Amino acid sequence: MKGARIIAWVVIAIMGVNMANVAINSGMDHGVGFDTFLAGSGDPWQLFINNDLVTGLFFMVGWLIFRERGGRLADRIAWVWMILWWGNIVVAAYVLLALWQACGDDRRFFMGRREGRLPGLRIGGVVRVVSGVTAALVALWTCAEIVKVGFAPIAIFGLVMGFAPVILSFLLIAWPSRPAAAA
């Protein structure tokens, strides 16, 4: 499992650098890459690469839904939405969470809640407040970007679809689920 952990961190580092490059050199004000994704579909090779990426993400989403069955629906929606929009950086983050929850047990890593109760993350009050404030700031920034692009439909779609799951994720951190009562 150490190898999987290393790979996940490498993916996060590589994708983080790529995201920083996009933010610095292109910006997020034209639909968070959605227009670029669509524009590339005219080239057969780019279409193949786009479809390969998306089908791989669907494969990952299938495992996540299987693994998280019985958990809070809002958490599953946030993970799925984040994976389908932001891609492998979110996949790597989920793999790190699954590895932590598995405590070294391969079966628990793959099966998740089907192997029993998973350990929950303990989220302190400061992190919860910061997450709530961050959700509000991302929502305000998204609204400002929508105005900035002159309400262009593709840009709005990209901004809303790209940042709504980010906002939802921060809200879920700010208001975590309560553990089930002991029977």
Burial class (CB in 10 A: 0-12, 13-18, 19+), 42: exposed
pLDDT above 90 (res 31): no
Residues 6+ apart with CB under 8 A from 139: 163, 167
What is the pTM for the complete model shown? 0.81
pLDDT above 70 (res 180): no
pLDDT above 90 (res 57): yes
Domain range annotation of the chain: 2-174
- Of the listed ranges 12-16, 51-55, 85-89, 120-124, the least confidently predicted one is 120-124
pLDDT in tens, 2-17: 999 999 999 999 999 9
Arithmetic mean of pLDDT, 131-154? 93
Please check whether residue 169 is in contact with residue 131, taking contact to mean a CB–CB distance below 8 angstroms. Answer: no
Cα separation, 151 vs 131, in Å, equals 28
Arithmetic mean of pLDDT, 69-89? 91
Backbone phi and psi for residue 75, each to the nearest 5 degrees, phi listed first:
-65, -45
Please check whether residue 80 is in contact with residue 65, taking contact to mean a CB–CB distance below 8 angstroms. Answer: yes
Q: How many whole angstroms from its chain centre is CA 169?
A: 8
Kindly state the tokens that stand for 41. Answer: 């579909």
pLDDT above 90 (res 134): yes
